[in-house]
Chains A and B, each alone.
Chain A
Amino acid sequence: MTSNLHQSVQTDNVLHTENVNIYYGDFLAVKEVNLDVPKNAITAFIGPSGCGKSTVLRCFNRLNDLIKSFHLDGKILYNGQDIYAPEIDAVEVRRQIGMVFQQPNPFPKSIYDNIAFGPRLLGYKGDMDELVERSLKRGALWEDVKDKLKAMGTDISGGQQQRLCIARAIAVQPEVILMDEPCASLDPVSTLKIEDLMQELKEDYTLVIVTHNMQQASRASDYTAFFNVQANEEGQRTGFIEEYDRTESIFQSPKKKATQEYVSGRFG
C-alpha cells in the first residue's frame, strides 16, 4: 500500500502525503493515503464510486474545510510544508493550488470578469486586459471568445465553460491545478480538447485529475493511483489506495489483482 513511486522514479514531488486518514465525524472515509505527486506531470486518480478519490483531491487545497464534520490526521506536505498545520492560511493554500470542478461553474459575470476574479482578489496591479488574454489563450478559449469578452460566462457552451474555468484557475498562476472529473459533463469532442489542453498545461503546472474514464487516465496521465474501497463489519465503506505507479505500469502490468480486474473493466 505504500507508494512504490518512492523507489521507482526520481522526481521532484510537489505534494507528498504521509498516512493520511480522512474522517467525516466518526466515519473513516479514506485511510492510509501515502502518495507523491510529481512536478510537471499529470497524476490521475481512478477507482470505483465512493472510493474517496475526490475526497483526497479536495484535501489538497483544503476545500473539505467547508464541510463541518470533516477532519484528517496524518500530513499533507506541499513543497515540504504541512498545509494542515495550524499556522497555515487555507485561503493562501487555495491560491497556489487551484481547482476545476466536475460541473463547469463560471460566475454569472462576463467572461472577462470571470478571468479577472482571481487576480483582483490578489490585488493584481498590472495590465488586466493582457492577463485576461494570456489566460484565455492558455485555456485554449481565446479564439472562441475574443470578440465577446463582455458576454456572460454562463452563456457559452459547456465545453467552453469548462475551459473558461481552467483559464480562470490559471489566471492567478497557481503551481498545482486539481481537476475533479473535469470532463464528466462534456461531450467527447470537448473532452478531447480538455485533454489536449492538460498536456500543454503540464509544462508549467502540476495537474492532479480525478476521472471515472479509464481511457482518459491511460491517454492523458503520467501517473495513476488506483483507489479501492472496502466495507467493515458495520457496512461503512472506507477508501484506500490499492496501487500507485506510472500509468503504463498500472494499465499494462499491474501488481495487484484488484487493479488488474478494474483496469480490464471486470468490476467497478
Chain B
Amino acid sequence: MTSQEFPASLAKGRSLERTVTSKTIFSSVMTGLVFACAILALIPLLALLFYVISKGAVRLSPQLFTQLPPPPFQRDSPQFSSGGFGNAIVGTFMTVGIASLISIPFGILSAIYLSEFARDTKLANAVSFFTNVLSGVPSIVMGVFAYSLIVIAITSLVKGSPSYSAIAAGFALAVLMLPTIVRTSTEALESVPNNLRQASTGLGASNYQTIFRVILPAAVPAILTGIILAIARAAGETAPIIFTALFSNFWNWDPWRPTATLSVLVYNFAISPFANWQELAWAASLVLITLVLFANVLARWIIRKR
C-alpha cells in the first residue's frame, strides 16, 4: 500500500490552539449535567441522615440501651421520656448472631466447593444460578417460609408447641444472607492466583492443606467484607422478622422465645398513636442506621487494608 492511496492528512497540520465550537460547548454542558446528577444521588442519603439524626438525637441517652420499652405516656407526663429498648438491641444481636452462625459456615464451605472442586462445571454453574435466584426472593416470602418450617413445625417438635423465636428469625435471616456470602466468598477464592495453588501443591500439600493453609487465608479479607455487608443488611430486615421473632416487651435470653428486635420495634412504635413510642422509634432508627453504617465503614476499612 502506498501513501498515495490515503486522502489528504486528517490530523497533520490542524491548529493546536483551543477553539470554542459546538462540540466543546456540548462537552461542558454534559460535564455539568453528570456532576449535578452525581450530587442528586447523594441527596436522599443526606436528607435521610439529617432527618433521622434530628428526630432521633433528642432521645439519645444511655438509658436507651439499658431499659425496657415504656408503656404509653402523655406528653405532659413526668415519665414521658422514660424507658428504652435494651431488649431490642440484645434481640437484634441475637437474631443476627444466630443467622451468622448458620449462614457463614454454610456459605464459606459451599464457596470452597464451588471455587476449588467444581469450578466451571455444570453443577457449579447451576448452584450459582440458583443462589442468584435465592437472592431475588422477597424477604417477606423468606419470613413465611421460616414461619411454617421453624415457628410451626420444628418448634412444635422440639418444644411441644409452636412459638415465635429468635431461632426462627435467625433462620430466615440466614437464608437471606446465604447468597451474598456464597457469591462474595466464591469470587474471593477464585481471585486467589493459581500460582499459589501450584506452589502449595509443589511443596507437597494435599488438596485440603492447600485450601485451608494458603487459599482461604489469602481470601479472608474479601470474604470478611462480604460477611459484614450481609450482616448489615440482615440487621435491618423487618419483614421476615415480624412473624418469626415477633416482638417482646421484656428481656429475653431464650432463643426459643419471642424476641424484640430494633427493626420490628421501629415498625411497631412508628405506627402507634403514642408520642413517646414514636420518639423511641426515631431513636431506634438512629441506632440501627449507626450500626449499619459502622459495619459498612468496617468493611471498607478491611478492603483498604489488604
Contact = CB atoms under 8 A, between A and B. Distances in A.
Contact of B199 (A61, A105, A122, A172): A105
Interface string A66-94: 10000000000000000000000001101
B7 interface: no
A105 B205 contact: no
B209 interface: yes
A121 B208 CA distance: 11
Given A107-B214, A109-B217, A118 B204 contact: yes
A56 to B, nearest CB: 16
B206 A91 contact: yes
Nearest to B206: A91
B202 A61 contact: yes
Q: Which of A63, A92, A94 has the most CB of B within 10 A?
A: A94
B300 interface: no
Given A108-B218, A109-B217, A121-B209, A101 B204 contact: no
Majority-rule SS of B interface residues: helix
A117 interface: yes
Nearest to B199: A105
B302 to A, nearest CB: 15
A226 B202 CA distance: 25
Contacts of A101: 195, 198-199, 202
Nearest to A65: B201
A107 B200 contact: yes
Interface residues of B, number: 18
A190 interface: no
Nearest to B213: A117
Q: Which of B196, B197, B201, B213 has the most CB of A within 10 A?
A: B201
A212 to B, nearest CB: 19
Interface in B184-213: 193, 195-206, 209, 213
Given A103-B195, A105-B196, A118 B203 contact: yes
Interface string A166-181: 0011001000000000
Contacts of A169: 202-203
A53 interface: no
Contact of B202 (A92, A99, A106): A99
Contacts of A61: 202
Interface string B225-251: 000000000000000000000000000
A9 to B, nearest CB: 29
Q: Which of B195, B203, B217 has the most CB of A within 10 A?
A: B203
A102 to B, nearest CB: 9
Contacts of A117: 200, 203, 205, 213-214
Contacts of B206: 91
B216 to A, nearest CB: 12
Contacts of A103: 195
Given A99-B203, A101-B202, 10 more contacts: A61-B202, A66-B198, A91-B205, A95-B203, A98-B203, A101-B199, A105-B193, A105-B196, A107-B199, A121-B203
Nearest first, the 5 closest Cβ-Cβ pairs linking A and B are A95-B204, A99-B202, A105-B195, A94-B204, A105-B199
Interface of B: 193, 195-206, 209, 213-214, 217-218
